[in-house]
Amino acid sequence: MVQVRVSEGLLEGEVVHNEYGGTFCSFKGIPYAQPPIGDLRFKAPQPQKPWEGVRQAKEFGPSCSQVDFLMQPKPDCSEDCLYLNVYTPQLKPNNPLPVMFFIHGGGFYSGSGNDDMYGPEFLVRQDVILVTINYRLEVLGFLCLDTEEVPGNAGMKDQVEALKWVNKNISCFGGDPDNITIFGESAGGASVGYHLVSPMSKGLFKRAICQSGVPTCWWAKVFEPRKRALALAHHLGYKSNDENGLYEFFKSQPVEALLGVNVPLSFSEQIRAGFELNFGIVSEKQFGDETGFFHGNLSDYLKNGVHEGVEVMTGYTEDDGVILFVFGEHTKMLEQANTLDNYFTPKHIALNCSLKKQIEAGQKIKKFYMHDEKVETDWERVARYQKAEMFIYGTIKFARACSQKNKLYFYTFNCKSERNMACSMLGLNTITNGKEVSCHLDDLFYIFNSKALEQKIDMKSKTFELINKVTKLWTNFAKYGNPTPNGDLGVKWLPYTADKEDYLDIGNELQAGTAPDHDEYQFWENIFREYTPEYVDKEY
């Protein structure tokens, strides 16, 4: 057992044997804010109150009430979910240790910071402190009524509160509050990107890593959030538009009624097989002098530069698009792709153009990816389109804008080994026909010792070499702001610029290159410039 005194009181954690070398101190289930229940439901988080005596920190706190990828309620979850976990290799190092603060993904509706996905063993052996967090999800974290009581983004404000707690207390665990790297994947990556521009987050971190998700991805911001809230209320039986009554109605609902409810706003959303984001990050309405998490257009923030001096790393996996087959029965998706040209219409064009232009744009994109061949069961080309629409265009656009004023490193990820388990875990092997892919999520299994994989890796194996290589890139960036500072990984990773487009291909070998997916990005840029020029130049 080991004890640490933080600002709210005394915590008792434990010293854990690391099966991959040495030991580390583990503190789980630390409350960083008051339980967001009762009158605090949908509200910004309130600071945690002090406790008496010794608080045990040996069990994870509850995950936020949620459904899984298949929209089934998950057990052992609760609205009382604002907890974080700290893993440190040393409580009293000679010099304060760099801190890596991880924000989990899950489409803003599922996930947690627990070790079923995010075990610390691979990272702490590189002499960094790892912090993982829970935050409110879906309706609980992202309901927006455009009112002062419920302006939206409560889940993002949870993340900010956790960051504040870490800034205040991490030195007690041997960490350096002046060297915090925030990183996240998918919705967690998009969250990290929004922290790069939010006035609430400024000054709380030094570096940032966005994995397979950035704010310029179309799914990172919710379309018509208040209308979605009204649609949900009507679905649950509330027929009035009275704002005060609406707020009280949502507060009074049992949590189970708020989870996993699909609230389409259009015929297209209702019948299209694919991913739709119902609740997530919104542009908040301003009320008086109150500072919200995010107001206005992202493009305006990016033109002015993200937080000054913050170094950034971003990229995506080789087969990110395969994950989209989870969100719609895949034969239905392929059938729609085969018969409906506007299946390929990008979300922004679908929301802003006539049906005629939607079909026209969809035809051009279908031709680009399918080459006039039948879609039928050609999952690879459809997945490539899905990757471009969901990840490639938004990520490169973000990198080009961000690199104007901040140092940024760009990567593509295509490691392959028995760690690539995402397709198997999500039931996608029948689609990929057993082909080895680097799916969405697969990069995480080289960074975290995910207990769900139930794999013990031989430290002399090629797979462990890959794990060591990837965690070195990530932790070097956290330590020095440079993933390859001394050439010991056999490659020099140069910062990305809009003119040279340097990047690193992170595969079973590391290869430096230029202009990742440049032609594909340019194709999408031209499509948007033709049909929705404001999306290219201003609004995203």
Cβ neighbours of residue 354 closer than 8 Å, sequence gap 6 or more: none
pLDDT at 538 over 70: no
Token pair in block for residue 346: 């990008």
**Domain-located, residue 109:** yes
pLDDT attached to residue 336: 87
d(CA 139, CA 67): 12
**Domain-located, residue 364:** no
pLDDT tens readout for residues 310-336 = 999 999 999 999 998 887 677 788 888
Task: Report residue 290's pLDDT band, with 50, 70 and 90 as the boundaries.
Answer: confident
Contact 161, 79 (CB under 8 A): no
User: Where do the DSSP E strands lie in 32-128?
Assistant: 54-56, 63-64, 77-78, 83-88, 97-103
Nearest by Cα to 389 from 339, 437, 333:
333
Whichever domain contains 415, its CATH number is 3.40.50.1820
Q: What percent of the chain has pLDDT over 70?
A: 98
Domain boundaries, position 415:
2-324+393-538
User: What burial letters (b/e) apply to 40-63, b meaning 16+ CB within 10 Å?
Assistant: bbbbbbeebeeeeeebebeebbbb
**Domain-located, residue 350:** no
pLDDT tens readout for residues 55-101 = 999 999 999 999 876 677 788 899 999 999 999 999 999 999 999 99
Chain centre distance of CA 413:
16
pLDDT tens readout for residues 356-413 = 999 999 999 999 998 877 776 678 988 999 999 999 999 999 999 999 999 999 999 9
Contact 90, 173 (CB under 8 A): no
Q: Please return the burial class of 253, using the count of CB atoms within 10 Å of its CB with bins 0-12, 13-18 and 19+.
A: middle
**Domain-located, residue 408:** yes
pLDDT at 539 over 60: no
Token pair in block for residue 196: 């790069």
**Domain-located, residue 185:** yes
**Average pLDDT of span 349-357:** 92
**Domain-located, residue 149:** yes
Task: Report residue 277's pLDDT band, with 50, 70 and 90 as the boundaries.
Answer: confident
Taking the complete model, does pTM exceed 0.95, yes or no?
Answer: yes
DSSP state at residue 11: E
Q: Domain count for the chain, please give it.
A: 1
Chain length of the chain: 540
**Domain-located, residue 315:** yes
Contact 172, 207 (CB under 8 A): no
**Domain-located, residue 372:** no
pLDDT at 540 over 60: no
pLDDT tens readout for residues 199-210 = 999 999 999 999
Mean predicted lDDT score pLDDT of the chain? 94
pLDDT attached to residue 328: 65
User: Where do the DSSP E strands lie in 339-476?
Assistant: 408-413
Nearest by Cα to 292 from 127, 164, 416, 151:
151
